[in-house]
Amino acid sequence: MANQQTLAEWLAGQTAGMPQGEALAETIRSVADGAARLSAVITRGPLIERPADQRSIRGVMEEQANAILLEAAQAAPVAYFASEDREEIATLDESAPLALAVEPLDGSSNINANVSTGTIFSIYPRGADAEASLVRPGREQMAAGYVMYGPHTMLVLTVGRGAAAFGLDTETREFLCVVPELRTPEDASMYAINAANYRHWEPPIRAYIDDCVEGKSGPRDKDFKMRWVASLVAETHRILTQGGVFLYPRDARPGHERGTLRQVFDANPIAMLAEQCGGGATTGASRILDTVPDGLQSRSPLIFGSARKVERLRRYHEDPDFIGGEAPLFGVRGLFRS
pLDDT confidence tier of residue 73, bands split at 50, 70 and 90: very high
- Residue 45, marked binder: no
pLDDT 10s digits, 249-262: 999 999 999 999 99
Percent of the chain beyond pLDDT 70? 93
Find, among 70, 66, 52, 62, the residue nearest to 110 by Cα: 62
Q: Is 196 exposed, middle or buried (0-12, 13-18, 19+ CB in 10 A)?
A: exposed
User: Rounded distance, CA 26 to CA 31, Å?
Assistant: 9
pLDDT at 135 over 90: yes
d(CA 73, CA 71): 5
Asked if 190 and 303 touch (Cβ cutoff 8 Å), the reply is no
> Does position 327 have pLDDT exceeding 60, yes or no?
no
Delimiting residues of CATH 3.40.190.80 domain(s) in the chain: 190-323
Rounded to whole angstroms, the Cα distance separating 211 from 192 reads 14
Q: Count how many residues are written for the chain.
A: 338
pLDDT at 72 over 90: yes
User: Using 50, 70 and 90 to split pLDDT, how confident is the model at 164?
Assistant: very high
DSSP 8-state symbol, 132: H
CB atoms within 10 A of CB 223: 13
Q: Does domain 190-323 have CATH number 3.40.190.80?
A: yes
Asked whether the predicted pLDDT for residue 333 surpasses 50, the reply is no
Mean pLDDT (whole number) for 152-177: 96
Across the chain, the runs of DSSP E, i.e. the strands, are 78-83, 90-91, 98-106, 117-125, 143-149, 153-158, 163-169, 174-179, 190-192, 225-227, 245-248, 261-262, 280-282, 299-300, 302-305
Q: What is the amino acid identity at position 220?
A: R
| pLDDT for the residue numbered 70 | 97
User: Are 140 and 122 contacting, i.e. CB atoms less than 8 angstroms apart?
Assistant: no
For 232, phi then psi, to 5°, come to -60, -40
Residue 123, pLDDT > 90, answer: yes
Q: Up-side HSE of residue 37: CA atoms within 13 Å toward CB?
A: 17
pLDDT by residue (tens digit) across 191-229? 999 999 999 999 999 999 999 999 998 888 899 999 999
Q: Which residues pair with 80 in a beta bridge?
A: 91, 99
Give the residue-averaged pLDDT of 315-335: 57
pLDDT tens for 2-11 read 578 999 999 9
Has 109 been labeled as part of a binding site?
yes
Asked whether residue 194 is marked as a ligand-binding residue, the answer is yes
Alpha helices in the chain (DSSP H): 7-15, 21-44, 58-74, 130-134, 203-214, 232-242, 268-276, 307-318
Alpha-carbon distance of 249 to 257, in angstroms, equals 9
pLDDT by residue (tens digit) across 233-244? Answer: 999 999 999 999
| Helix 7-15 with 21-44: angle, nearest 10 deg | 150
**Distances from the Cα of 35 to the Cαs of 119, 167, 214, 322, in angstroms?**
7, 12, 42, 44
Q: Average pLDDT, whole number, for the chain? A: 91
- Topology of 7-182 in CATH? Fructose-1,6-Bisphosphatase; Chain A, domain 1 (3.30.540)
Tens digit of each residue's pLDDT (9 = 90 or more) over 91-104? 999 999 999 999 99
Q: Is 108 annotated as a binding residue?
A: yes
Residue limits of CATH 3.30.540.10 in the chain:
7-182
Strands 302-305 and 280-282, by their bridges, are antiparallel
Task: Identify the pLDDT of residue 2.
Answer: 54
Q: What is the pLDDT of residue 336?
A: 39
Do the annotations mark residue 39 as ligand-binding? Answer: no
pLDDT category of residue 323 using cuts at 50, 70 and 90: low
pLDDT class for 138, splitting at 50, 70, 90? very high
Paired with 226 in beta bridges are 191
Q: Is 115 exposed, middle or buried (0-12, 13-18, 19+ CB in 10 A)?
A: middle
User: What does the alpha-carbon distance between residue 333 and residue 44 come to, in Å, rounded to a whole number?
Assistant: 53
Contact residues for 46 (Cβ-Cβ < 8 A; gap 6+): 57
pLDDT at 173: 92
